[in-house]
Every structure is written in structure tokens, then in C-alpha cells.
């Protein structure tokens, strides 16, 4: 269905990034903002902006009725959810479609299945996608888990079936720690996701986190746009993301890419998605989950493919076929992204709030910055502490890494603490390992 005015149901850097492509393609952009965000950059960038409620996310960015009312009020005829917030909420996707608007995302059924890690595994199991040996059954009593863990072999990972972002996840080394691990994962999962359904997986030792960007259209085509290596994490949160992965050969890329496409086809996937795998030291890989949205780290894929993934999302939502076939996709050079957070590494990475008195983004050859920050802006405690993504690229990994180091030295945020120094040390460490 054709559309002309797109409501971006998000805030921060991703709202700004989506608005830019929306406007570049001639669509009008409608922004939403809470009381805490009226001076935020995404509000100033958009053609129209609607105040939807108080700072609390439940009263604003997560309030489905208010988001839909904002679309109605402004005459928006399509909704782009960004990432986080309502992006993987199947109920929201259904409500958008029921209101006669175009949903710029996958079908609600695919969101629903992939949103539950256990259901996702059941869905892709028949498609030849390798799974981590584990237990994802409906029997949820401790006795069943203890027996299953003994069969799988320790160490095991306990995970929330509805989970994401590392919450509700426990590494259990021996049988003695399992019951306690189950109890704490259950309570954390219930609090974070409203469900205490758990699953077990064999813990893969020293794995790499390799994810494939996939795209499906409404005509049954599904292709992949190569992988991203997100192995550098802190407490299960990604810190450094790069493409291509230094650990993936052309041959392995073809194998993993085919598995990623098969996983997407298992749910007739439409739009942008990410299939996540663990890659072990022997080259074996296992499906972990699929994210049914645009990822935070999508820019590294854009930089090595030369494509605009938001543009592709809009094309697909408009009913057009994918612009390229699998053989036409080329990967050139190397790209690396780091996430700049308003947080204090010296204080256990606690979020840092206050006014940013000075913000200077780095610039230059091979440097891209996706930010939602400007000097004078308040960083409030209500939302994610990520303020910018710094992405560099070059013909080789060494060039991209060197550019990233200099870009971080050029990045200035004064007024709140950030993880800039921590990122610089991480990049210096990675350069030594090359």
C-alpha cells in the first residue's frame, strides 16, 4: 500500500537516522516526543512532531493508543518503529495494520514467533538451521531442567524464553548451581518480560557472536547482506560491532548465510531482520535467535554494502521487490562501530545524567556518526543511555580501526560522563591483537 507520511515511533539517534532517509526519499516524517524530549534533535528534524505524554515510557513511547492517536491526528499513513520500544511488539504491529496504516516491519506472526526464543527454535528446526543442543520444552519444573541439563552436558546457559538484551540469562558451570540459577533467571525474566518461561542451552565455550543481516520482500525473495561480528560485549551488551567478521571465510559466509536465509524463510519473513549465531572455535555455528527489526549496528552493514537499509525497509513496505539478488550483493572493505553511552565506567557503568554543555562529533574521511545529541541537551534518566554511534570504515580492518581510534580522540562530550575513554582503551586493545 502506498504511503506518503511516516510516523517514527521512537526517539534518539535511531529516530534521527530514520527521519533522514524518510525525508531524502520525499516522504514526510512525523516525530513523537515525551515531556522530557521536547528539545531533542529528532523533534527538530521531523516535519511534524506530536507530544504524546510524560517522560515515563509507559505513558509515552510505549503507549500504543497514544502512538496511534498521534498517527491519526497528523494523517500519517505508515509507522516505522525503529529498534527497542514497540518495534518487536506483535500486538502493536497488528494494531497499526488494523488502523489501516502501513507497518514498516515484518508481519506480526513472524514477530510473535521470533519474539519467543523457544518458539523460534521450534520454527527453524525443520529448515536445516543448526541449533545449540538444549531444552526448550513446555515442562518448566526444576526436575525436568535438571534431567535435561545432565543430558546436554555442563556448562549450560539458562535463558528467558521471552528474553533479550542479556536479561534473564545465567551461566551455570555445574549441576550444583542449576536450581539457584533457574530461580534467579525466573524472577528476573518475570520482572523484565512478564513471563518466567525458561530454556536451557549448552554453553558454547569462547564463542563468537556472528549475526547475519537478512531482507525479505512481499514476493517471497529472501537474501542476506553478510555478517556482523559482535563478539566484544560487556555483560551480554554489545560494545564493538564490525563487518565483515575476521573469523568468517567466504566459504563459511556462504554456509551461514544460507542458514540465515532458511531461518527467515521458515517464517515467510518480510523486511529487515537479523539472524544471530554462535560460532565456536572449530567453525561450527548454532542459531540463537532472530531479531525482527532494524539493529542498532546496521550501519556497519550499510558501509560495506553501500546500501541504505532504511530505504530498503520502505521499498519492501511499499510492496516493491528487493533491489538486488543474492549474487548482486558485494561486500567491500571493513567497518567498525562503537556505542557511546552517557555512563560512568569508573562507577560500575552507572548511567550519567545532566546537561551536555559541549558535544562535538568527529568528522573526516571514513567516519560516520549516528547521534541524537546536541550541545545544551539534557540527558534524563528515563531512556537508554546511548547517545551516539561512532562508525568508521576503510579498505582494510587496520585502516578502519585506526580511524576509529582517532575519531574517538576527536569526540567531545562535556557535562556528563561517558564511556569514551573505555572505548578508546578497548580499541587500543583490539589493535594490539591484530
Answer yes or no: are the C-beta atoms of 103 and 93 closer than 8 Å.
Answer: yes
Q: Which is nearer to other proteins, 195 or 375 (CB)?
A: 375
HEC per residue, the chain: CCCCEEEECCCHHHHHHHHHHHHHCCCEEEEEEEHHHCCCHHHHHCCEEEEEECCCHHHCCCCHHHHHHHHHHHCCCEEECCCCCCCCCHHHHHHHHHCCCEECCCCHHHHHHHCCHHHHHHHHHHHCCCECCEECCCCCCHHHHHHHHHHHCCCEEEEECCCCCCCCCEEECCHHHHHHHHHHHHHHHHHHHCCCCEEEEECCCCCEEEEEEEEECCCCCEEEEEEEEEEEEECCEEEEEEECCCCCCHHHHHHHHHHHHHHHHCCCCCEEEEEEEEECCCCCEEEEEEECCCCCCHHHHHHHHCCCHHHHHHHHHCCCCCCCCHHHCCCCCEEEEEEEECEEHHHCCEECCEECCEEECCCCCCEEEEECCCCCCEECCCCCCEEEEEEEEECCHHHHHHHHHHHHHHCEEECCCCCHHHHHHHHHHHHHHC
The stretch near other proteins (CB under 8 A) out of 30-38, 112-120, 247-255, 409-417 is 409-417
Is residue 137 near other proteins by the rule CB under 8 A?
A: no
Range in contact with other proteins (rule: CB under 8 A) among 103-111, 253-261, 267-275, 421-429: 421-429
| Structure-block grid coordinates of residue 30 | 512525523
Judged by CB under 8 A, which of 412, 427, 430, 431 binds other proteins? 412
Select from 84, 82, 89, 52 the least CA-distant residue to 68.
52
418 in contact with other proteins (CB under 8 A):
yes
**CB 357 to other proteins: min, Å:** 4
CB of 375 to other proteins, least distance (A): 8
424 contributes a contact to other proteins by CB under 8 A: yes
CA distance 133 to 292: 23
For the CB of residue 373, give the shortest distance to other proteins in the complex, in Å: 14
- Judged by CB, which is closer to other proteins: 132, or 427? 427
Q: Does 363 bind other proteins (CB under 8 A)?
A: no
Closest CA to 7 of 85, 70, 51: 70
Q: Which of 85-93, 163-171, 220-228, 413-421 is the region at the interface with other proteins (rule: CB under 8 A)? A: 413-421
* Residue 357 interacting with other proteins (CB under 8 A): yes
Tell me the backbone φ, ψ of residue 140, rounded to 5 degrees. -115, 15
Cell of 129: 538451521
Stretch that binds other proteins, among 83-91, 238-246, 327-335, 418-426 (CB under 8 A): 418-426
Q: How far apart are CA 279 and CA 248, in angstroms?
A: 9
- What's the distance, Cα to Cα, between the start and end of the chain in Å? 49
Query: Which residue in the set 73, 191, 236, 360 belongs to the binding site for other proteins (CB under 8 A)?
Result: 360
If the CB atoms of residues 149 and 340 are measured against other proteins, the closer one turns out to be 340
Closest approach of other proteins to the CB of residue 413, in Å: 7
Closer CB to other proteins, 1 or 409, in the complex:
409
Cβ distance to other proteins smaller for residue 100 or 376: 376
Smallest gap from Cβ 350 to other proteins, in A, equals: 16
φ and ψ of 426, to 5 deg = -65, -45
Binding test (CB under 8 A) with other proteins, winner from 283, 319, 321, 421: 421
> Per-residue contact track with other proteins, 325 to 354, x per CB under 8 A?
-----------------------------x
Would you say 113 or 416 has its CB closer to other proteins? Answer: 416
Q: Closest approach of Cβ 341 to other proteins, in Å? A: 13
Tell me if 378 contacts other proteins by CB under 8 A: no
Q: Is 355 in the site for other proteins (CB under 8 A)?
A: yes
Name the segment binding other proteins (CB under 8 A); options: 4-12, 138-146, 200-208, 420-428.
420-428
Q: Which one of the spans 56-64, 131-139, 310-318, 406-414 is the region binding other proteins (CB under 8 A)?
A: 406-414
**Interface with other proteins (CB under 8 A), residue from 241, 337, 343, 417:** 417
Q: Which of 358, 364, 381, 395 forms a contact with other proteins (CB under 8 A)?
A: 358
- How big is the site for other proteins, counted in residues (CB under 8 A)? 16
CB of 352 to other proteins, least distance (A): 11
Smaller CB distance to other proteins: residue 110 or 369?
369
Q: Which residues sit at the interface with other proteins, rule CB under 8 A?
A: 354-355, 357-358, 360, 409, 412-415, 417-418, 420-421, 424-425
Amino acid at each position: 500500500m502506498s504511503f506518503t507520511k511516516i510516523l517514527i515511533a521512537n526517539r534518539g539517534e535511531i529516530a534521527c537516522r530514520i527521519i533522514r532517509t524518510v525525508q531524502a526519499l520525499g516522504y514526510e516524517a512525523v516525530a513523537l516526543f515525551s515531556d522530557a524530549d521536547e528539545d531533542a534533535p529528532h523533534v527538530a528534524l521531523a516535519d511534524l512532531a506530536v507530544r504524546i505524554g510524560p517522560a515515563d515510557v509507559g505513558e509515552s513511547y510505549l503507549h500504543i493508543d497514544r502512538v496511534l492517536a498521534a498517527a491519526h491526528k497528523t494523517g500519517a499513513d505508515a509507522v516505522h518503529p525503529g529498534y527497542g520500544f514497540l518495534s518487536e511488539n506483535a500486538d502493536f504491529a497488528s494494531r497499526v495494520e488494523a488502523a489501516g496504516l502501513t507497518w514498516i516491519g515484518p508481519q506480526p506472526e513472524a514477530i510473535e514467533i521470533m519474539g519467543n526464543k523457544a518458539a523460534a527454535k521450534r520454527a527453524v528446526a525443520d529448515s536445516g538451521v543448526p541449533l545449540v543442543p538444549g531444552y526448550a520444552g513446555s515442562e518448566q519444573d526444576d526436575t525436568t531442567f535438571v534431567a535435561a541439563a545432565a543430558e546436554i552436558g555442563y556448562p549450560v546457559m539458562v535463558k528467558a524464553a521471552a528474553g533479550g538484551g542479556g536479561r534473564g540469562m545465567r551461566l551455570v558451570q555445574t549441576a550444583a548451581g542449576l536450581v539457584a540459577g533457574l530461580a534467579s533467571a525466573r524472577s528476573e525474566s518475570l520482572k523484565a518480560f512478564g513471563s518466567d518461561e525458561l530454556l536451557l542451552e549448552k554453553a558454547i565455550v569462547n564463542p563468537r557472536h556472528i549475526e547475519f543481516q537478512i531482507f525479505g520482500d512481499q514476493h517471497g525473495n529472501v537474501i542476506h547482506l553478510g555478517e556482523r561480528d559482535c563478539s566484544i560485549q560487556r555483560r551480554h551488551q554489545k560494545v564493538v560491532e564490525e563487518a565483515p567478521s575476521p573469523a568468517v571465510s567466504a566459504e563459511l559466509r556462504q554456509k551461514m548465510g544460507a542458514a540465515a536465509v532458511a531461518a527467515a524463510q521458515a517464517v515467510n519473513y518480510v523486511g529487515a531482520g537479523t539472524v544471530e549465531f554462535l560460532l565456536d572455535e572449530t567453525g561450527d555455528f548454532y542459531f540463537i535467535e532472530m531479531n525482527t527489526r532494524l539493529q542498532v549496528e546496521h550501519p556497519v552493514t550499510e558501509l560495506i554494502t553501500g546500501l541504505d537499509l532504511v530505504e530498503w525497509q520502505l521499498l519492501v513496505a511499499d510492496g516493491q521487490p528487493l533491489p538486488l539478488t543474492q549474487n548482486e550483493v558485494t561486500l567491500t572493505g571493513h567497518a567498525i562501530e562503537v556505542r557511546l553511552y552517557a555512563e560512568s565506567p569508573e562507577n560500575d557503568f552507572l548511567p550519567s545524567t545532566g546537561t551536555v554543555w559541549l558535544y562535538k562529533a568527529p568528522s573526516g574521511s571514513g567516519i560516520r556518526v549516528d547521534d541524537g545529541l546536541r550541545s545544551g541537551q539534557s540527558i534524563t534518566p528515563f531512556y537508554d543511555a546511548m547517545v551516539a554511534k561512532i562508525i568508521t570504515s576503510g579498505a582494510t580492518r587496520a585502516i578502519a580501526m585506526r580511524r576509529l581510534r582517532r575519531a574517538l580522540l576527536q569526540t567531545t562530550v562535556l557535562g556528563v560522563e561517558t564511556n569514551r575513554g573505555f572505548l578508546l582503551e578497548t580499541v587500543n586493545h583490539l589493535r594490539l591483537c591484530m
